[in-house]
Amino acid sequence: MPKIKTNRAAAKRFRKTGSGKIVRRRKNLRHILTKKSAKRKRLLGQAALVDKTNERAVKEMCPYL
């Protein structure tokens, strides 16, 4: 059986934690930052877990993650 190809765009966006959960970056921290509060920008810089509804899609794109 052939190996499954990994979606390279997805592989660069997600990583796995020690407990097996999938981590992603948050959106809205690229531009138009002047109107966002320091607290909001600080929280946007932290990683977030992928929602349970999207985990299956990520695992299909990155089978060896």
Q: How far apart are CA 33 and CA 21, in angstroms?
A: 30
**pLDDT tens-digit series, residues 39-62:** 999 999 999 999 999 999 999 999
Residue extents of the structural domains in the chain:
8-61
Q: How far apart are CA 60 and CA 65, in angstroms?
A: 10
Fold held by 8-61: Factor Xa Inhibitor (4.10.410)
**pLDDT tens-digit series, residues 1-45:** 899 999 999 999 999 999 999 999 999 999 999 999 999 999 999
Q: How far apart are CA 36 and CA 27, in angstroms?
A: 13
